[in-house]
Structure 1
Amino acid sequence: MPTITAEKKLFLKERELGALLEITQAINQDHTEAALYKIFQFTLLGQLNIRRLVLYVKEEGEWECTVSFGAGLPDFRKVPLPPAIADRSTAAPCLLRDLPGLGTAWENLEIVIPVVRNGVVLAQVIIGNVYEDYAGEEATKFLQTLSNILVGAIENRRLGRQRVASAAMRKEIEIAREVQTMLFPRTLPNDAHVAVHASYVPHTAVGGDYYDVVELDADRFLFCVADVSGKGVAASLLMSNFQAGLRTLMRQKVDLATVAQELNNLIFRNAGGDKFITVFFGLYDRRTRELTYVNAGHNDPLLIPDSGPILPLKEGTIMLGVMDELPMLKVGRLTVPPRSLLLAYTDGLTEVFDADQNEFGEEGVLDVLQHTRYAPLRTVHSELLREITAFDRSGSGFADDVTILSCRFK
């Protein structure tokens, strides 16, 4: 390599400062990432006379070529980064001729310069056909520094966007959680005729389960347990629509068949068939002890009398929101015997698996009820939750929300 005069060194330093100024100005002017990569390309070509350059950046664990220019080079945007380069964890530049298995696509490139931040390789700068006066260790270090400034700025922008998006999502989830909390009734019936208790354990920050109890008059109250497909904000919003529709219909004193049909229409219109809700509606008359109900594709609630067989409440129709009209809708009717217990729940209670993939199931629920059915309702719920937690101890965790609503008819 020829000796570089002091005048030439000064000239090259001025070029480096010019390149540094162009890159930092571009970053401060808030250009897009694509524009920054283009400015980086033109700066190296114009200021430093680097005539072949390829830049790979690691995004979400994958290497992506963001800059590729120079005569005789293929379009590296279509060329995967070879393991010999991709797997390098060192910050030291390396001559390509010292790396095995690169192939002919890389023969016109000379050196790979890693861009490292906090001990992590974020990018690989590969250059070739460097101007003879601009070569050597000092030049390589400047190229590494310049690339680090660019890639670091782009990474900071990406992290900034992620923080903003995460903050917005947290706020959205917080609002949805507040909306969901407001949907649940503040008080539940507990009088000489009936006692009602409910438990709700969300699987995620915003779940898709819902329960409600609506006092219609001195004698009658409606209760329901529901599960919307999906989770999160969308499920919470659909549930709020469901509750508003339900309460509007109950103020109009319509029968359960009409309630189910109208809510089905509401959900179908709002969700377009993409989401559905399984729900159990029960309407109890304290004076006559009559329970009318509709089971719309939900887990069968269990009516456990003081003596005699357990009765699963099956009558109803399909889940709401799948079709514009509910087929074969039937309303169940029965007289509730004294000292009966009714347990309604969502599938999160039964779809719990142990390490051998055995399901807790309805059988597990009945086993718990055998020795707790006369206990206070709060104890019944806590025992059910304790049992499914113990059942899952060697399993993979709960996969869904758990909602339990029970009625003790006195």
Structure 2
Amino acid sequence: MPDSNPLNLEIQSLRKQLLRKQQELSALLEITQSINLDMTEEALYKIFQFTVTGQLQIRRIVLYMREERTWRCVISSFGHQLADFRKLALPDEIIDSCEEGPCPMRGLPLGAEWQKLETIIPVKNKDEVVGYLLIGSVQEDYANEEASKFLETLSNILVGAIENRRLNRQRISAAAMRKEIEIAQEVQNLLFPSKLPNDAQVAVHASYVPHTAIGGDYYDVVSIDKDRFLFCVADVSGKGVPASLLMSNFQAGLRTLLRQNVDLATIVHELNHLLFRNSGGEKFITVFFGIYNRATRHLQYVNAGHNDPILVPDSGPIQYLKEGTVMLGIMEKLPMLTVGETQMPPHSLLLSYTDGLTEVFDEAGAEYGEEGLIRLMTRNRYLPLSALHKEMLREIEDFSATKNQFADDITILSCRFK
């Protein structure tokens, strides 16, 4: 027969309360020790599951956590032949009905797989619901209200630790990215020439306006001997660190080939092979190469899929330097290659650029384009090169609907042949 003595009943109740507190304390210690061991998120979820089911004897628990804009089930403790909630989406009925505190599942219009759960506990981080803990088959002596309050506290501790881990990973990742960008910027700055030719035969000037912290444009001017120098303007597919690394390989290959005193056709073929080998055809470079001889006023060039440089003579029609090949790096062997040749008339101006200079749009969607660039060059062909570049950048900024927020990198390399 059950003991009906009031004193004995009170002692039994106190013993049960003490046992529950001991169980809760053990659960809390297990969770906090696991957090202090700096375990992974998945390991913390596992320990939380085993602690709740083992120490608190709550047989069924399901935990959904919000990740980005979706809800993911991270704990599903059901056994064989029962629903795997990892494969089920969190119903809107649960999200809409329970935000402030523990709520009963009873009465919600949900499928049969949800009927074995009894209570919904919203889990918060900084007053925002970031998870839902669903429990069922709570031991008879462990009242739902008490279980809910403690589980809410335990869940908040768990979620707070996991959020701190995520924030810490984000901080580490952001710091690593900043360092990576700094290194890439330094590499890119080292790629550009520190000195440009400016003598009695020729003047060269360059301007570079990156769209992002690390742009995808490149230019170079390299002396070959006392009479000849090579100049080039290139646009690398992609942006950021990968583009910077590809440019670095490109420049290293170009400088090596120039030291070997090979001809322009060989330079182009070898650089194409280098780029294809490094990127497997997934990245490419459009580039214009020119080799100018001061003594003969002769220009050899190759246009590899790049914007046609514009030659404005002192008199006569404008010329476009089109001869060359396809962009470099998309195929192992170039299908064709033509080395263009032309003479540079006295007082002529040659402009090489990347498409960020012309692909600028006004509020009506009209493009500045090559036509706008030619009109500007015709009006200002005798300006000093630095002033000419400033005028170009000022005009496209005035033309652009986004003003100085250009959609792409801008590189300008101009040569005046005296």
* TM-score, structure 1 as length reference: 0.94
- Whole-angstrom distance in 1 between the partners of 2:240 and 2:92: 40
* 1:80 aligned residue (69, 84, 89): 89
Give the superposition deviation at 1:29.
2.2
Give the superposition deviation at 1:96.
2.1
Q: Which amino acid aligns with 2:88?
A: V
Q: Which amino acid aligns with 1:37?
A: Y
Residue 34 in structure 1 maps to residue 42 in structure 2: yes
1:404 alignment partner, SS class: strand
Residue 262 in structure 1 maps to residue 236 in structure 2: no
- Whole-angstrom distance in 2 between the partners of 1:234 and 1:62: 31
Q: Which deviates further from its counterpart, 86-95 or 127-136?
A: 86-95
- Corresponding residue for residue 164 of structure 2: 156
Question: After the TM superposition, which residues 69-148 of structure 1 pair with which residues of structure 2 at under 5 Å, given as runs?
Answer: 69-70=77-78, 73-87=82-96, 90-97=99-106, 99=108, 101-148=109-156
Q: Which amino acid aligns with 1:353?
A: F
Q: Any gaps of 5 or more consecutive residues in structure 1?
A: none
Judge conservation of contact 2:349–2:414 (CA < 8 Å) in 1. Answer: yes
Judge conservation of contact 2:125–2:159 (CA < 8 Å) in 1. Answer: no
Give the superposition deviation at 1:93.
2.1
Judge conservation of contact 1:283–1:292 (CA < 8 Å) in 2. Answer: yes
Question: After the TM superposition, which residues 277-356 of structure 1 pair with which residues of structure 2 at under 5 Å, given as runs?
Answer: 277-356=285-364
- Corresponding residue for residue 406 of structure 1: 414
Q: Which deviates further from its counterpart, 163-172 or 61-70?
A: 163-172
Residues 212-254 of structure 1 deviation map (CA, whole Å, 9 limit, x = unaligned): 0011222211100011111111111111111111111112222
Q: Which deviates further from its counterpart, 283-292 or 363-372?
A: 363-372
- Whole-angstrom distance in 2 between the partners of 1:205 and 1:381: 21
User: Which structure is larger by alpha-carbon Rg, 1 or 2?
Assistant: 2
Q: Which amino acid aligns with 1:202?
A: P
Residue 191 in structure 1 maps to residue 199 in structure 2: yes
Residues 140-181 of structure 1 deviation map (CA, whole Å, 9 limit, x = unaligned): 121011011112212222222222222222212211111110
Judge conservation of contact 1:91–1:116 (CA < 8 Å) in 2. Answer: no
- Whole-angstrom distance in 1 between the partners of 2:110 and 2:185: 53
* 1:243 aligned residue (229, 251, 275): 251
Judge conservation of contact 1:354–1:395 (CA < 8 Å) in 2. Answer: no
1:97 alignment partner, SS class: coil
- Whole-angstrom distance in 2 between the partners of 1:313 and 1:61: 52
Q: Which amino acid aligns with 2:410?
A: V
- Whole-angstrom distance in 2 between the partners of 1:335 and 1:124: 76
- Whole-angstrom distance in 1 between the partners of 2:231 and 2:38: 56
Q: Which amino acid aligns with 2:219?
A: Y
Q: Any gaps of 5 or more consecutive residues in structure 2?
A: 1-8
- Whole-angstrom distance in 1 between the partners of 2:69 and 2:37: 28
Give the superposition deviation at 1:73.
4.2
Give the superposition deviation at 1:367.
2.6
Residues 351-402 of structure 1 deviation map (CA, whole Å, 9 limit, x = unaligned): 2233443322211212322322222212221222222223322589533211
Judge conservation of contact 1:353–1:396 (CA < 8 Å) in 2. Answer: no
Q: Which amino acid aligns with 2:20?
A: L
1:129 alignment partner, SS class: strand
- Whole-angstrom distance in 2 between the partners of 1:404 and 1:311: 18
- Whole-angstrom distance in 2 between the partners of 1:16 and 1:158: 27
2:357 alignment partner, SS class: coil
Aligned residues: 408
- Whole-angstrom distance in 2 between the partners of 1:153 and 1:136: 25
* 1:21 aligned residue (29, 48, 55): 29
Q: Which amino acid aligns with 2:121?
A: I
Residues 288-331 of structure 1 deviation map (CA, whole Å, 9 limit, x = unaligned): 11111110111101001112111111000111112222222111
Judge conservation of contact 1:353–1:395 (CA < 8 Å) in 2. Answer: no
- Whole-angstrom distance in 2 between the partners of 1:393 and 1:288: 45
- Whole-angstrom distance in 2 between the partners of 1:353 and 1:89: 50
Percent identity (aligned): 66
- Whole-angstrom distance in 1 between the partners of 2:18 and 2:355: 75
1:214 alignment partner, SS class: strand
Give the superposition deviation at 1:403.
0.7
- Corresponding residue for residue 369 of structure 1: 377
Q: Which runs of 4+ in 1 moved over 6 A?
A: none
- Corresponding residue for residue 170 of structure 1: 178
Residues 267-304 of structure 1 deviation map (CA, whole Å, 9 limit, x = unaligned): 11122211111110011111211111110111101001
- Whole-angstrom distance in 2 between the partners of 1:386 and 1:396: 9
Q: Which amino acid aligns with 1:381?
A: H
Q: 1:89 to 1:331 in 2, by over 3 A?
A: farther
Q: Which deviates further from its counterpart, 156-165 or 292-301?
A: 156-165
1:182 alignment partner, SS class: helix
